[in-house]
Structure formats: C-alpha cells, structure tokens
C-alpha cells in the first residue's frame, strides 16, 4: 500500500509538472481563440484645461484593464502613451493622461476585441480555463491523497 501511495504522489507530481509547462501555451491559445486584433486611427481629443482626454473605441476591449492596448500619439508628436491610458468600466472609453493642457491630440489605438463567433458564456470559460485547470488538478490531488491515506486504516 505504501508503494501505491508513492506511485500516486509521483503521478500527481508529473501532472503538476506537465500543467506548469503547458499552462503558458494554453493561456496563449485560449486568448488567440477568443480575441481579434483591432486598430483605430485618427481618434481625436482636446485636453482643454486638464491634463487628460478621452476617446471612444468602436468595439469593447476584450479585457477589463489595459492589457493588450497600445496607444500611440500621432499628433502633435509621435509618442507611445500606453502606460498613460486607463480603460473605463464600459470597456470602450479610453482616457489618456499626462498630456499638456489646451492641446489637440490624435491617437492610434491597437486593442483586442472579443471574436464575434465567441458567445458570452464561451468567452468566460476561455478566460477562466487556466484557473479551472489548476483548481481541477488541485481537487484531484486532494481526492487522491485522501483516498490513499484512508486506505491505510
């Protein structure tokens, strides 16, 4: 019985190793399956009396934060403003801060949209897939460990 416990621990360790190696590829493939790249050019705004301005994207961004968004100022200069951007709760309003007051700006925004063929439920499943795999493997470890230790009685 002790031998079975050792074999079970080795198999589960191998499972964790395979998952750790495969997880980055799984995340990358699920992101590729659920998102499409989009670009909007000529997004104009005026900073007015403040140091920020907002532009509106035509489609919702695929993430709740600025992951995958590249904001390039094309006028009056050519500057990467990605680190200065923040996304609104509607995922279409993009606010760029750190600007000069009373200046007209034009931006090009590269971002990710959810693929039209991916339903809301499938999208949530693909977003949660890596977590589900880790929790599932952890559940399997706990189940196997409890069965192994209970069999010693």
Alpha carbon distance 75, 152 (integer Å): 73
Q: Which pLDDT belongs to residue 18?
A: 82
Q: Which pLDDT belongs to residue 38?
A: 92
Token code pair at residue 97: 């801060």
Residue ranges per structural domain of the chain: 2-150
Q: How would you write the pLDDT of the chain (153 residues) with one tens digit per residue? A: 567 667 777 877 887 788 788 888 888 888 888 888 999 999 999 888 888 899 999 988 988 888 889 999 998 888 898 888 999 999 899 999 988 888 899 999 999 998 888 888 888 888 888 888 888 888 877 787 777 666 665
Residue (of 31, 48, 45, 13) closest to 144 by Cα position: 13
Token code pair at residue 94: 């993009």
Which residues in 24-41 are b (16+ Cβ under 10 Å) and which e?
eeeeeebbeebbeeeebe
Alpha carbon distance 44, 62 (integer Å): 22
Considering the entire predicted model, what is its pTM?
Answer: 0.71
Helices and strands in the chain: count of H runs, count of E runs: 2, 7
| Four-residue CA torsion sign, 114, 116, 118, 120 | positive
Q: Which pLDDT belongs to residue 105?
A: 92
- Residues in Cβ contact with 50 at an 8 Å cutoff, skipping those fewer than 6 apart: 101
């Amino acid at each position: 019985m002790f031998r079975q416990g050792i074999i079970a621990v080795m198999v589960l360790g191998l499972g964790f190793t395979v998952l750790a190696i495969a997880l980055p590829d799984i995340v990358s493939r699920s992101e590729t399956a659920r998102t499409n790249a989009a670009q909007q050019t000529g997004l104009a705004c005026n900073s007015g009396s403040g140091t920020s301005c907002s532009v509106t994207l035509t489609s919702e961004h695929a993430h709740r934060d600025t992951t995958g968004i590249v904001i390039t100022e094309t006028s009056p200069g050519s500057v990467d403003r990605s680190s200065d951007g923040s996304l609104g709760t509607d995922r279409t309003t993009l606010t760029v801060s750190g600007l000069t007051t009373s200046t007209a700006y034009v931006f090009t925004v590269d971002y990710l949209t959810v693929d039209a063929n991916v339903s809301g439920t499938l999208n949530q499943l693909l977003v949660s897939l890596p977590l589900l795999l880790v929790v599932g493997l952890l559940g399997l470890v706990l189940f196997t460990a409890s069965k192994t230790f209970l069999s010693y009685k």
